[in-house]
Amino acid sequence: MKLTPINSSHKDPKHGVLMSEVGEIYRSIDPNVILHLKKSNRFVKPLKEIEGNFFQVEKFEFETFYYEYPFDMLKDSALYYLDTLTELVENDLIYSDGNPLNSTYTGNAQFLQFDLGSIVALNENLGWTGYKQFLTDWIWPIYALSDKKYIGIGELWNTLNDNQLIFHYNLNWKHKIRPSFWVHNAFLQNQKRQNLQTLNTSVKANKISKSRIISLIALLKSDVNSAKMRTIKTKWDNYYSNTIIRNSYLENKLLAVKSILEQVEFNSENKSYIVDWGANDGYFSMELAQIFPNSTIIAIESDHNAANELYKKCKNESIIPIHGSILNPTPSLAFSNYRKGLSERLKNVTNLHVCLGLMHHLQHEQNLSFSNILAYFAENSKANSYLLIEFVKNTDPRYQLIRNPNYPYSENITDFKSQFEAYYQLMNEVEINENRVLFLGKKKS
């Protein structure tokens, strides 16, 4: 069997991740760690041992990155990590780092830790070596974001490009008067001295006990919980309740969506993924989760208030919220772009794109033609995937509200159908009202 290291394995060659020709994942795992992994539900699972301490491990299809998380999801990712760390310490293990990029969100309030090589035996002479990284990559950004009235897409990207930037955050004074702020600073300085002392064999270093580490973790959890998101009202707040629930539009739309999606069939042998574009606070994402209970919904929303509400509402559903935009999808990042951009990750998993109430915005706010829009969905999905898209006629009042008078392309529904059939086999069209029509198609090979 031929195994090839994945791009990110240069960071830890000893415990790097290898991939087979058929996409299976393999890695070396410390034998002391294996026993714990088998009884915990917080990590990707070792599936089978192929030779001494070398295992095939569980593979997740869609990876999330913390710089795409709504605020409360970012907080929960930190809390989940700390709970996992507590579990490890109680079992005489510990993480050697505190990197938020070593976990992914799978829906149903579940974060999975996948950097199994960073789990090591607890050494009370060293303490928790990932402490500083947890502060710089998780706690300080959470503090900084809690100071902002609005969180822009990719607000955390800068911290990935300059690790020193995190120390120059202009944190609000309220964070610096926290007793814990200075406790963390003092503990880091002490741990730094401890590590230097261990290099001098003539000096006996003070041990950092298991109970002391657990107390420190409890303090960090309190810090994370205390951070609150500041919001500024946007036009998308309470969108469904205040903006579009008129003349039974939403009720008719939901009935039409349920009716037309009865024709969609996924391969029952594989996990299916549905992308809900412009998901707002998750109204249709929740409905899609009910219609397709064995699927995972990737709900993408550019407005941070709405994305955060979506996460809080859908936390216990098989829904993955992404704070992002079809106009500015997360790019590939890291050395040799081994952290893939949003479009590329969607391309590998998407069985159904759902585009409701979005196309006319793409037309008139971005000057995109029918072909431009449809090509994106076709190119960024799997073979035999589906597209459900809402066509808004130019007689619609909300269409008229945002219409670009210099729009150079056709707005005719007949021309839309012609372009649709260039990329998709038209399966059905269902009228919501006199101005809006749903189209369902299956991607042509």
Per domain, the residue ranges of the chain are 3-57, 66-226, 239-443
**Considering only CA atoms, which of 279, 423, 293, 298 is closest in space to residue 357?**
279
Residues 6+ apart with CB under 8 A from 177: none
Whether 55 and 27 have beta carbons less than 8 Å apart is answered as yes
Averaged pLDDT in 10-residue chunks for the chain of 445 residues:
77 78 88 88 90 86 93 95 96 92 94 91 86 84 76 56 51 70 68 58 66 91 89 58 61 94 88 95 95 96 92 95 92 86 96 96 95 97 97 94 94 97 97 96 95
Cα–Cα distance between 120 and 278 in angstroms, integer? 42
Whether 323 and 65 have beta carbons less than 8 Å apart is answered as no
pLDDT at 357: 92
- DSSP secondary structure of 144-205: HHHT-SSPPTTTTHHHHH-GGGGGG----HHHHT-HHHHHHHHHHHHHHHHHHHHHSTTSPP
3-state secondary structure string across 3-40: EEECHHHHHCHHHCEEEECCCCEEEECCHHHHHHHHHC
239-443 classified as CATH 3.20.20.70: no
Residues 6+ apart with CB under 8 A from 170: none
Cα–Cα distance between 140 and 185 in angstroms, integer? 12
